[in-house]
Structure 1
Amino acid sequence: MTKEEVLQLSKKVCKNTLMETLEIEFSEIGEDYLIAKMPVNSRVHQPDGVLHGGATVALAESVGSMASYVFLDTDNFFIRGIEIAANHLRSVKEGWVYAKATFIHKGRTTQLFEIKITDEEDRLISLVKLTTIALPKETK
């Protein structure tokens, strides 16, 4: 799938979803990774004015799930996140954060991603591990 195809797909599937609300944009695709970005502003702040960990995890799960969707057989399978763990290492007050989802394991049933969240200066903000599962679609 080309970058343009991923961008068009993401615009279609993200409409009226949390991804649209958080203004998550998918920006780059490679052979085994996908990158998305999200603005850091008052919409995703904690009360003390820094990026909320929940928004960071939402970004991570969004990019990991979209990577599964892009790289796996979604004509025959639904993709669902089944476990996520995050370590938040640095705070951000403004600008953009970038999430790069890379496969650690690309199985037929389960997939494991490492997702690095970085700031505009490429400093590590959070390190996230996401497990997804491919569930067969019911055939009628």
Structure 2
Amino acid sequence: MSDQRIRPADPATAPVGATEAAPAPLDARLAAQLEASFAGTLVERLGMEVLTLSPSGGTMRMPVAGSTQPAGLLHGGATIALAESIASVAALLRAREVHGEGAQAVGTSVSALHHRSAREGWVTATCTPRHLGRQVASYLVDVHDEAGTLLSTITVATQLLPPR
């Protein structure tokens, strides 16, 4: 597991399952804010790492180790947590894009279909937009294993909240 949860985007090393060019690297201020916000959260506990990020999506990965069910398979809830995490961070950037600094995004719906599971290695969630409005953003998240096998398809909807 890396000690850096936010990694600069590198199109040459785009994760398996990525369907478009990686977004530009995060600016240092945003990376520091995200790093601080992940401390002590499920993102940190599950070893999740942001690989790419923009208001229109991104990629995040996590190790299978430590996130399994008793049968030794990747836990479906951990997979959903990975998908909701990358979609929520992308939605936060979208909220700030349309409402300015201090805007927030909150999840309103998650729907998952698990096709297969994994027993080891890393899984990568690739988040792409389905709707980017001023009040709602929704994303489709595909989760792949290291071989590129599609494990889960997850839809995440969020509400974009202006600053209070």
Once the two structures are TM-superposed, the CA of residue 16 in structure 1 deviates from its matched residue by 1.0
Q: What's the counterpart of residue 69 of structure 1?
A: 92
- Residues 113 and 152 of structure 2 are in contact (CA less than 8 Å); yes or no, is this contact kept in structure 1? yes
Which one-letter code corresponds to 1:53 in the other structure? G
Rounded Cα–Cα distance in structure 2 between residues aligned with 1:7 and 1:122: 27
Once the two structures are TM-superposed, the CA of residue 136 in structure 1 deviates from its matched residue by 2.8
User: C-alpha root-mean-square deviation of aligned residues, in Å?
Assistant: 1.8
1:71-129 superposed Cα distances (whole Å, 9 cap, x missing partner): 33162422100000000001100000000111110000001100000010111000000
1:22-67 superposed Cα distances (whole Å, 9 cap, x missing partner): 11000123673210000001x2100000000000000000000011
- Structure (1/2) with the larger strand percentage: 1
Q: How does 1:1-140 map to 2 (within 5 A)?
A: 2-5=24-27, 7-29=31-53, 32-41=56-65, 43-73=66-96, 75-138=101-164
Q: What's the counterpart of residue 5 of structure 2?
A: none
Unaligned stretches of 5+ residues in structure 2: 1-22
TM-score (norm 1): 0.89
- Residues 106 and 112 of structure 1 are in contact (CA less than 8 Å); yes or no, is this contact kept in structure 2? yes
- Residues 54 and 90 of structure 2 are in contact (CA less than 8 Å); yes or no, is this contact kept in structure 1? no
Q: 3-state SS of the aligned residue for 2:86?
A: helix
- Residues 51 and 59 of structure 2 are in contact (CA less than 8 Å); yes or no, is this contact kept in structure 1? yes
TM-score (norm 2): 0.77
- With over 3 angstroms needed to count, the CA separation of the structure-2 counterparts of 1:125 and 1:133, relative to structure 1, is same
Unaligned stretches of 5+ residues in structure 1: none
Runs (4 or more) in structure 1 with deviation over 4 Å come to none
